Amino acid sequence: MGKFIQLNLRRQLLDDRIITGLDIGTSKVSVVIAEINDSGVLEIIGVGNAPCNGLRRGVVVNIEATVQAIIKAVEDAELMSGREIRSCFTGIAGANIEGINSRGVVAVSGKNREISEDDINRVVEAARAIAIPMDREILHVIPQSFIVDDQKGIKNPLDMIGVRLEAEVHIITGSLTTTQNLVRCINRAGFSVDGLILQTLASSKALLTEDEKELGSMIIDLGGGTTDALLFVEGAPYFSASVGVGGIQVTNDLSIVLKIPLDAAERIKKESGTCYLPHIDPGETVIIPGMPGKAPSEIPRINLAQIMQPRMEEIILLLREKIITMNYMHLLKGGIVLTGGGAKMNGVVDLVQEIFNMPVRVGVPSSLGGLTEEYQKPEHATAVGLVLMGAERHLAGNSIKEKPDKGSTSRHGVLKKISDWFKEMF
């Protein structure tokens, strides 16, 4: 009996040191397992991937296919790490996600007009008191800045003196059905959900520097089924957007125009394709595999670019139009960071740079030790970011088990969000 208790205690201690990030995308599932070592340092020890066709534009359309992809990716990561996981932090994205900026105002009630945690709690509650449809839920309430008696740009007003306290927040909402189906898939795969986190918010944790966030930079996640963006201004999220088109549409275009299977089109896109015509040497050619009973053929490589570039231009221009419509282009001063599988597409950096007329780079997660060659890739940025944000919440004792953040209106719940935000952003 004593040995059984010791084994259980040992397993519990190991579980408490394991943080897992699960990125469920339209075309693949990515899993990153990290461990807090004896020195208190987070180290990535396992990475797993699996193709997935159970989502469409970020929405679950086939539960069983999604469950099987999750199981396969987790098994690969467990095999690499030698650990067994029970729960995970999960990313969420897609056209069902919406971001809203809001402001709340309260009178300071603290002794001697000193701003207390209760005042911060009340002003954030006032800012989040917006009307949302019954079929949506609040996923994040992220303070951008506070205003004390017309003094703007305050990051943490605790213990300051004032009469009037205002909070500017960015509220991210998601479809209730979408989040429930995502959690259901993870539960059916045998895992619990520690928390649902916006994918671009997680990616920013792994990719953006504090200077980039302060200056005004944007993450663009070029996914398989959706293209998602998150703009940071003065260190905090300011605008989030999503376009329901991604890399799969580029593959489909190649398949239809060249009359080849989807898997062959995907391979050609990665190996020989480019979405920027100036990169092409007119004399270059590409071998196109033939369909059954048809011999392979040779075509100019420029033909691929003439198929790929218009689709990628459409995606980026749709995103740019959303920013222009909101009149936020003048806030984008620090450049653009590309992530997701589409960030590896040849020519995409130059194309985005030309459309936005500003510096663009491909984001690669910074080194956390461990299996650097496995996770330092754009397509793993979200999963690495989920691990980083999950570790901070875990160490602060703020994990939320089983289901996404429902936006608790309790004092403790809001203070946890504020505490999380300060830890994640500064």
User: Residue 426 pLDDT more than 60?
Assistant: no
SS3 label, residue 346: coil
* pLDDT value, residue 404: 39
Q: Is the dihedral of CA 200, 202, 205, 207 positive or negative?
A: negative
Among residues of the chain, what percentage have pLDDT more than 90? 61
Q: Has residue 119 been placed in a domain?
A: yes
151 shares a domain with 123 = yes
Encode pLDDT of 299-316 as tens digits: 999 999 999 999 999 999
Could you say which DSSP state residue 157 is in?
-
Say which DSSP state 291 is in.
P
pLDDT in the model for residue 12:
44
Are residues 55 and 105 both part of a single domain?
no
- Average pLDDT of the chain is 86
Domain boundary residue, one of 133, 160, 175:
175
Task: Judge whether 171 lies within some domain.
Answer: yes
Torsion sign (Cα): 177, 402, 191, 393: positive
pLDDT of 172 over the 90 cut: yes
Q: What range does the domain containing 185 cover? A: 2-94+177-201+365-404
Residue 232, in any domain of the structure: no
Q: Please give the pLDDT value at position 397.
A: 64
Give the pLDDT score at 229: 95
pLDDT at 231: 95
Residue 301 located in a structural domain: no
Residue 412's nearest CA partner among 89, 88, 124 is: 124
153 and 14 in one domain? no
Distances (CA, A) of 330 to 217, 218, 374: 11, 12, 37
Are 170 and 195 in a shared domain?
A: no
Q: Is 394 strand, coil or helix?
A: helix
| pTM, rounded to two decimals | 0.85
Q: What is the pLDDT of residue 393?
A: 82
The answer for residues whose C-beta is within 8 angstroms of residue 133's C-beta and 6 or more apart is: none
The domain boundary residue, chosen from 159, 175, 191 = 175
At residue 168, does pLDDT exceed 80? Answer: yes
Which tens digits make up the pLDDT trace of 49-106?
Answer: 999 988 887 788 899 999 999 999 999 999 999 999 999 999 998 878 888 999 999 9
**388 within a domain of the structure (yes/no):** yes
Residues 170 and 59 in one domain: no
Nearest to 19 by CA among 9, 8, 32: 32
Asked if residue 108 and residue 184 are part of one domain, the reply reads no
Pair (77, 9) in one structural domain:
yes
The four Cα atoms 155, 161, 164, 170 give a dihedral, to 10 degrees, of: 10
Judge whether 23 and 29 are in contact, CB under 8 Å. Answer: yes
Query: pLDDT tens digit string along 178-233?
Result: 999 999 999 999 999 999 999 999 999 999 989 999 999 999 999 988 999 999 99
The tens digit of pLDDT for each residue in 265-275 reads 999 999 999 99
User: What is the CB-side half-sphere exposure of residue 284 using CA atoms within 13 A?
Assistant: 14
Q: Are residues 43 and 117 in the same domain?
A: no
| Beta pairing class for 18-24 and 28-36 | antiparallel
326: which 2 tokens?
């909101």
User: What pLDDT sits at residue 327?
Assistant: 93
CATH number at residue 197: 3.30.420.40
CA–CA distances in Å: residue 200 to residues 91, 339, 362: 9, 9, 14
Q: Which residue has 């003196």 as its token pair?
A: 161
Q: 188 and 119 in one domain?
A: no
Whether the Cβ atoms of residue 125 and residue 407 lie closer than 8 Å to each other: no
Task: Name the DSSP class of 295.
Answer: -
Contacts of 332 (CB under 8 A, 6+ apart): 216, 217, 218, 231, 323, 356, 358
Do 191 and 73 lie in one domain? The reply is yes
320: left (phi over 0), alpha (psi -120 to 50) or beta: alpha
- Percent of all residues in the chain with a pLDDT value above 70, rounded to a whole number: 88
Count of the separate structural domains present in the chain: 2
What gap in Å lies between CA 310 and CA 201, rounded to an integer? 28
Position 409 in a domain: no
- Looking at the domain assignment, is residue 419 inside a domain? no
HEC profile for 170-231?
Answer: EEEEEEHHHHHHHHHHHHHCCCEEEEEEEHHHHHHHHHCCHHHHHHCEEEEEECCCCEEEEE
CATH code of the domain covering residue 155: 3.30.1490.110
List beta partners, residue 43.
35
Shared domain check, 138 and 14: no
If pLDDT is split at 50, 70 and 90, which confidence band does 420 have?
low
* Domain co-membership, 90 together with 182: yes
Phi, psi angles (nearest 5°) of residue 155: -85, -40
Would you say 387 and 44 are in contact if contact means Cβ atoms under 8 Å apart?
A: yes
Asked whether residue 40 is domain-assigned, the answer is yes
5-31 pLDDT tens trace: 343 434 444 456 899 999 998 889 999
Instruction: Determine how many CB atoms are found less than 10 A away from the CB of residue 194.
Output: 25
The more confident residue out of 124 and 1 is: 124
